[in-house]
Structure 1
């Protein structure tokens, strides 16, 4: 009997769903939901509530759990595409968009996007390159591996231990693409037409060996020869690596439950910090992501602001920014966030700190902290709350961040 999918919404209401004890425990231990507990009222049911992770996973012995994002899927992949390749997207926000087709679910959109990127990469044929090959052969080819010949065959010939450079499609770039295609084919919820196109791409990449699971991804280098491959490589490597596009772990998670999830908290943080870093460069400023500091003099309490703006030489901090994938409360106040921002400003010796939220009732709020006056203008430390509307078109989102970058640059010019 086919088990129906369980559909949850990001930070949506708790649902009571029929689920076996083993499947429920597997889902609870994976930590992909905000909560997963047995239903005390209904036997054989579990109470499930989604948090910030969106996507789909197949529970062993249970259903496919699909978590729908609040943000439109096309916008979600714009954030992802920008974080992976900011230089390309910053020039024109339209180029930063990832083609997700007409799909409004994360996994189908992801599979479609990757397949389209790979198809574009292979437009001029499969990339070939030279790879060093070491093998045992009956005839001499290339160069003799004398040490191995003596160690393995005591100097007798044949066979001979040889090494040579082969011109082949078994390159690091093709290995990454093939492994990503194979992983997507294992995901639940990939539509039939997309699955067939992915299988076709897998055949085109058949001469490339698949990657060994668990090993570090090959380090490919951008070049003129692989320029068509680069958009596909950035997207597929993020999937295979199981890390965020820029600097934080767990933004894109490939789980043992056989599925694909994106952590919206980390994705939003990556997008805001990378986009601001690019915008600040236009003002001659530098930015450090996850800049390590300590709250106390003894260096026991660590802290990592999402982004610290510094002068062009990178020496002097002039502003601090923290991204929060939250919607402000009815009174507009998120006290813990304000306390955190004040701590950042205090440690860095700044007169203001900035919080960037995914949504809010006002574009900007300012709070002047009591008891902190002492600057030349007599003002106290100011904490700013900015709202970034993710439902806007990409150009509108980037425009909001450009405006914030301009304000940070003005602060740097007139501290």
Structure 2
């Protein structure tokens, strides 16, 4: 097996790989790869914005494991993920993983600890609607199904009833997440043992099959002890996958797209910071640029007045900067947002790199586009304080309609 260690948006590495394995790595879409033009039999491999660990299996059976480390420390990344899931309930002291060097073991350990904490008082039970064919009538008779399936027959009946059981959405999510993590490469042996014990505790719960729709659950006072673990389970199911790509390539692993992580964190944190300002905040608000409602635009964050009038707009951008500043295309996009929403100010928010804050007054348009940066590698309290400061700059009293 070939192990390839890379850094998010880091320098390309030149590695020996066969043509079949190199093509499989390209087909995976996880990293950029191409044959080295100067050295036959070697490939140049470069990571983009996806972080985690995946295994790529070529059609001829050759295997490569890609391990991509994020630019921010693992502890900070887990905070960004956790806060976006539950801005009100996440605490950074729940993550004590300084000894972990890679994302997958760190995240799997966090999930296992939260799931163990949730199950200490026993498995949560709840009501689940069951439809079945039975020889005994319980619940309500499904007359339509009874007539279609058993017309003229006796005694089988089609019934529907509510069953009080542990086989509910929350437990199914926990069991399925544990099983997905157990299938992934890179989970340490001691952690695998704890995940196996977790699966045994959930043995009577039905796992979610591949391709099946994820069951819906809702936070309530009854499942409050489960909520952190279930939210992490949803992240596991979102990030862990096994796919078959063209050419017989199989890809299995656990990945996060840092652009999505950053966007989710910024928009959720801004919405919470705007909580005392009145009006309402909409994430991924849908509007149209043209009067014919053909060209759709979807800003990441829009704050509306109580009357439904747009008061502030922002977009989160996690991307590589130009050598001497931000990408210009983002300015054109924000100008379109401000034009369609009839706002005098638009705000672009970047993960901090080399460029400083900037503001651009657009000629003949009466629009100012502001570019802000957030330093992610700092304690959570400091990062959230920076978001509150940023929210103050977006506040309608400081930016508004033309």
Q: TM-score, normalised by structure 1?
A: 0.85
Alignment pair present for 1:213 and 2:210: yes
Question: In 2, Cα distance between the equivalents of 1:203 and 1:330?
Answer: 53
Cα distance change of structure 1 residues 27 and 328 upon mapping to structure 2, 3 Å threshold: closer
Give the 5 Å matches for 1:12-411. 12-33=10-31, 35-60=32-57, 61-89=62-90, 94=92, 98=95, 100=97, 102-135=99-132, 164-240=161-237, 242=238, 252=239, 254-256=241-243, 257-313=251-307, 315-326=308-319, 328-361=321-354, 364-372=357-365, 380-409=366-395, 410-411=397-398
Question: In 1, Cα distance between the equivalents of 2:148 and 2:392?
Answer: 66
The structural deviation recorded for 1:296 is: 3.3
Question: In 1, Cα distance between the equivalents of 2:50 and 2:160?
Answer: 47
Partner of 2:4: 6
Cα distance change of structure 1 residues 297 and 166 upon mapping to structure 2, 3 Å threshold: closer
| Structure 2 SS opposite 1:258 | strand
Deviations 1:158-192 (A, max 9, x none): 66666654432212211111001000001111111
The structural deviation recorded for 1:12 is: 1.0
Deviations 1:194-240 (A, max 9, x none): 11111110000001011121111111122222111111111212332
Deviations 1:302-350 (A, max 9, x none): 222111222134x111221111113544433432222222222222221
| Structure 2 SS opposite 1:238 | helix
Question: In 1, Cα distance between the equivalents of 2:141 and 2:332?
Answer: 67
| Structure 1 SS opposite 2:127 | strand
Question: In 2, Cα distance between the equivalents of 1:101 and 1:196?
Answer: 21
Number of positions where the alignment pairs a residue of Structure 1 with one of Structure 2: 390
Question: In 1, Cα distance between the equivalents of 2:69 and 2:337?
Answer: 34
Question: In 2, Cα distance between the equivalents of 1:112 and 1:80?
Answer: 15
The structural deviation recorded for 1:113 is: 1.2
Question: In 2, Cα distance between the equivalents of 1:348 and 1:152?
Answer: 56
Structure 1 window deviating more from structure 2 (13-22 vs 218-227): it is 13-22
Question: In 2, Cα distance between the equivalents of 1:147 and 1:300?
Answer: 44
In 1, are the aligned partners of 2:344 and 2:400 still within 8 Å (CA)?
no
In 2, are the aligned partners of 1:318 and 1:411 still within 8 Å (CA)?
no
Question: In 2, Cα distance between the equivalents of 1:82 and 1:68?
Answer: 20
Question: In 2, Cα distance between the equivalents of 1:193 and 1:83?
Answer: 29
Cα distance change of structure 1 residues 330 and 36 upon mapping to structure 2, 3 Å threshold: closer
Cα distance change of structure 1 residues 340 and 206 upon mapping to structure 2, 3 Å threshold: same
Deviations 1:4-37 (A, max 9, x none): 411011111111223333332232122222x222
Question: In 2, Cα distance between the equivalents of 1:145 and 1:27?
Answer: 52
Question: In 2, Cα distance between the equivalents of 1:292 and 1:158?
Answer: 54
Question: In 1, Cα distance between the equivalents of 2:378 and 2:390?
Answer: 16
The structural deviation recorded for 1:154 is: 6.2
Cα distance change of structure 1 residues 154 and 72 upon mapping to structure 2, 3 Å threshold: same
The structural deviation recorded for 1:66 is: 0.6
| Structure 1 SS opposite 2:347 | strand
List runs of 5+ in structure 2 lacking aligned partners. Answer: 244-250
Cα distance change of structure 1 residues 103 and 199 upon mapping to structure 2, 3 Å threshold: same
Cα distance change of structure 1 residues 227 and 99 upon mapping to structure 2, 3 Å threshold: farther
Structure 1 window deviating more from structure 2 (201-210 vs 403-412): it is 403-412
The structural deviation recorded for 1:41 is: 3.5
